[in-house]
Structure 1
Amino acid sequence: MKRIVQFNILLFLLAGIISGCQKDLPKHETKLKIVSMDKLSYFHSEIVPVYKQSLKEIPSLFVHHEIKGKQILVECIINGVSFRESDHSKQKIGKMIVWVDGKKNSEVTSAAFIIKGLSPGVHKLKLEVVKLNNEPYGLTKEFIVNIPR
């Protein structure tokens, strides 16, 4: 009996919350705003499509990592450098060197990869973007990971 009363109270509160939220729906906008082409051309130099990068772009590196058991999933966003040797749309082609505890671990040619085989404990990782001849671009990220036992 006590469970039925609790269920009915919960059901009543839930119905009140759902019905109360329906009154605050936004109104549709009906006014259109038309901008002439000559005004758009003023802003044309500031509009850059997301899918197309400039060849003069300054390279940058953003790294996100996640520890899953004894594996580290690494995702990188690298602007201005391509890992594909056949990519002729960009002048800067490179690879990434992975350092673990100050020692070169591997070379990677993809923006997402998994690091396996680390022993339990704290490790210092360094990712360095370099040219194909190992000349540095000056893009590095260092971070600490703790592999659980």
Structure 2
Amino acid sequence: MKWFITAFMIVVLLCGCVEDKPRPKGVVEAAPVQIEDLSNEAVQVMTQSKERTLDVSYHVKNQNVYIECYIPSFQFAESKKGQTQGEGHLQVIVDGKRINDIYTAAFIVKGLSKGTHQIDIEVVHNNSHSYSLQESIQVVVK
């Protein structure tokens, strides 16, 4: 009986030690890169300059519109002075009437009457100069 258990353990260990392990799908093989010593030379480094975008998602529930804005590399700030790049807030216009400035990525437009409404969202600097990022959405309140 001891011989059978020992043999079983050896088989289990040998089966577990295989070279061909499963690889996750969608993973690209990466080849190593030869690195040269460039300590005495200037090297050009490129940064990823991603154009700023505004992605808006929303949901209508009763007379309220729940809105969430995604702006990569942007920070909401309440400061009224200066024009710091990458900082600012949102200006929201509902049916042609400007409502309060918004300093968060998610907010709620409350108490809309039944019918179709136009909501315009614009990203602005702290001093209210435009980033030239805006989105208009039409919502239907039932």
TM-score by length of 1: 0.60
The DSSP-based 3-state class of the residue aligned with 1:38 is: coil
| Stretches of structure 2 lacking an aligned partner (at least 5 in a row) | 1-19, 36-44
**Hey, which of these two has a bigger chunk of helix by percent?**
1
8 Å Cα contact 2:78/2:89 also seen in 1: no
User: Given the alignment of the two structures, is residue 37 of structure 1 paired with residue 32 of structure 2, yes or no?
Assistant: yes
Give the superposition deviation at 1:31.
Answer: 6.0
- The alignment's C-alpha RMSD in Å is 3.2
8 Å Cα contact 1:60/1:80 also seen in 2: no
Q: 2:74 aligns with which of 81, 86, 92?
A: 81
Which amino acid is 1:75 matched to?
A: E
Bigger radius of gyration among the two: 2
**Which residue of the partner structure matches residue 64 of structure 2?**
71
TM-score by length of 2: 0.63
Percent identity over the alignment is 31
8 Å Cα contact 1:85/1:93 also seen in 2: no
| Stretches of structure 1 lacking an aligned partner (at least 5 in a row) | 1-28, 49-53
- Specify whether residues 124 and 39 from structure 1 end up closer, same or farther in structure 2 by C-alpha distance, changes over 3 A only: farther
**Which residue of the partner structure matches residue 10 of structure 1?**
none
Give the total of aligned pairs: 107
8 Å Cα contact 2:66/2:107 also seen in 1: yes
Which amino acid is 1:106 matched to?
A: N
8 Å Cα contact 1:58/1:80 also seen in 2: no
- Select the structure with the greater relative contact order (CA < 8 A; seq sep ≥ 6): 2
Give the superposition deviation at 1:69.
Answer: 0.8
